[in-house]
Each structure stands twice: as C-alpha cells, then as structure tokens.
Amino acid sequence: MRTKSDLKARFEMTDSGKCAFVLGIELVDNDSGSVTMCQRRYVEDILKRFGMSDCKAVTSPTDISSRLIPSTAATKIDAPFREAVGALMHLMTATRPDIAFAVSYVTRFMENPQVEHWMAVKRILRYLQGTKSHGICFKPDDKIDFCGYSDADWAGDHADRKSTSGYAFILMGAPVSWGSKKQSSVSLSTSEAEYIALSLAIQEGKWVHRLLCEILDAAEDKSGPELKIMEDNQSCIKMTKNPVNHGRAKHIDIKYHHIRDEVKRGDVKLDCCETPIMLADIMTKGLPGPRHKDLTAALGIHACSH
C-alpha cells in the first residue's frame, strides 16, 4: 500500500485493482505472502507452435552425454531452428533462468543448424513440458537480502575449448539478473576462466546494485545492501587480492584486472562458497536431472499454483 501511495503522490494514476498479468507475465499471489512470476501460457503456446504439446517430459534441458560442435555441411536442417531459439530466449530472459545455459548453448549453432542441434532445442521444449508452471518466487522478508554468484566451466566447449561464464544475482530469495556466456578467448587454467567470469559478474552486479540502492533511496531507506559475490575458486579470489603479476595472471588481458580495483576500494566483497551450493553452476554447463532440479529450487524457481 505504501508503494501505491508513493506512486500516486508523484504520478497521475488510477488503481485498477489486483494485477494478474504484466507484459505476458503472470503474477500469482501465494498464501504465504510470496509472489511468483511465471509464463505458463507462453510455454504452452511455444509447445503448440512447434508441435511439442504431447511430447514426453525430461528432467533437465540438456543432454549431458551429447557433444555438439558447429557443422560445416553445405545444407541446413529444414526446421524452424532460429524461430524456436528466439522464442526460448524471450522466455529465458524473463522468468526462466533454469534454461539459461541450454538456450545460450544452442545459439552457438544458429549459422548452420543440423539434426543434432535441432534435437537439442527439442530437448529444451521437452523440459518445459514438465515445468510449465515454474516461475520466479519472491518471498517476503523484513530485510533486503542481495547476493551474487559467479562461476565458470573451464574448456567446456568441445569445438574450440573455450570456457563458459555464468552468474546469478539473488534478491529476496529469487533471481533478478542472470546470464550464461561463452568466453571470447581460451583460458589456460580453471582460475583464469573463473577470473574472466568474475569480471562479467561484477559488471552486471554493479549495475543491479546501483539500481537497487537508488530504489531504496527513493523509498527513504538509505541502508542499501553491500555488493557481495560468491566464488568457489580460492585461486581466483587470491588473484583479485594479489597485486603482483604472477605466472597465473600476467598473461590475462588487462581489461579484466578492474576486479582488483573494485575489491581494493571495497565496492565489491568476495566470499568463498562450496561448489555444491554454487548457484551459478547451472548457468555454465548441462547438469544431470537431480543436480539441475536442486539448483533450480535453490535459485528460487518453483511451480506456482493456479
């Protein structure tokens, strides 16, 4: 109610009652006071659009036994590959971080998709078949809880051995920003891959953190949270605090060393966490069904009741 009164005081507006949909995103209020954002109808439309309404569901969006590489074939598969990937990207960026890696992975084959690449897209659709009502669940709390996670999968691309960066920022128990991105250069060690991934996470985290602090300031709550990022690689954390260009870091592109300045100034706090609770792991590679399910729940993605 306070938010409504504050908005009315600044802008000319009318209260049209309870909001159920915003830009195609369904808002579901739960008895516990939490709010879930989901796109169940959009998922159903995607499945129908690509002839997968009656497909058999799977427990993860990627087949961990599959090793896809770009094709040099002269012909492409006769399938709506680009169209399907575009539809999945819209879903992924809005309410489904649990398919972030899978969607990012198939975009690598947009130029010349083959049967195996189309099967990978259909695998994502089969996963969505079993998770139609899943969405981001925000839980009420007296304090503002904000934390980021950064991870990397070293040399995970079997075509060129480049690594994949992943990050997730959690606010009030649910993700507000996430990403999965293939790194532009080959890393020579796990530490280097993690260091490059951390650079990406800090860039995104500073933007989200600044926006959050501005919102809290506008609400006259000036005690904004610190920008804390969890990292599961001890060597990477040591590299951020060691000003000496030792063997592990001296060859790394200078553009990534802004991390040291951020940490030294206290703008970013790095904490170490155990790999089993690294939430960004789901953004860097395909995972077995049980592990994927556990991290999805830990991220704050749950099935909503209608």
Quick one: pLDDT at residue 248?
Answer: 62
Predicted pLDDT at 219: 61
CA distance readout (Å), 197 to 22, 51, 194, 206, 258: 32, 37, 5, 14, 13
Specify the pLDDT at position 244.
Answer: 60
- The whole-angstrom separation of Cα 36 and Cα 132 is 13
Q: How high is the pLDDT of residue 250?
A: 67
| pLDDT for 295 | 98
Q: Given the DSSP bridges, would you call strands 134-138 and 174-182 parallel, antiparallel or unpaired? A: unpaired
Q: What is the pLDDT of residue 223?
A: 65
Rounded Cα distance between 170 and 129, Å, is: 26
- Region 142-303: CATH code: 3.30.420.10
The reported pLDDT for the residue numbered 22 is 85
Write the secondary structure of the chain as one string of H (helix), E (strand) and C (coil): CHHHHHHHHHCCCCCCCCCCEECCEEEEECCCCCEEEECHHHHHHHHHHCCCCCCCCCCCCCCCCCCCCCCCCCCCCCCCHHHHHHHHHHHHHHCCHHHHHHHHHHHHHCCCCCHHHHHHHHHHHHHHHCCCCEEEEECCCCCCCEEEEEEEECCCCCCCCCCEEEEEEEECCEEEEEEEEECCCCCCCHHHHHHHHHHHHHHHHHHHHHHHHHHHHHCCCCCCCCCEEEECCHHHHHHHHCCCCCCCCCCCCHHHHHHHHHHHHCCCEEEECCHHHCHHHHHCCCCCHHHHHHHHHHHCEEECCC
**pLDDT recorded at residue 252:** 77
* pLDDT value, residue 256: 80
pTM of the model: 0.91
Vertex 212 angle, CA 206 and 213, to 5°: 90
Q: Are 295 and 170 in contact (CB under 8 A)?
A: no
Query: Residue ranges per domain, the chain?
Result: 37-134, 142-303
* CA 13/CA 35 separation, integer angstroms: 23
First-to-final CA distance of the chain: 24
Which mean pLDDT values do the consecutive 10-residue runs of the chain (306 residues) have?
75 79 88 90 98 98 95 92 98 98 98 97 99 94 91 96 98 96 95 95 96 80 83 93 65 81 94 97 98 98 84
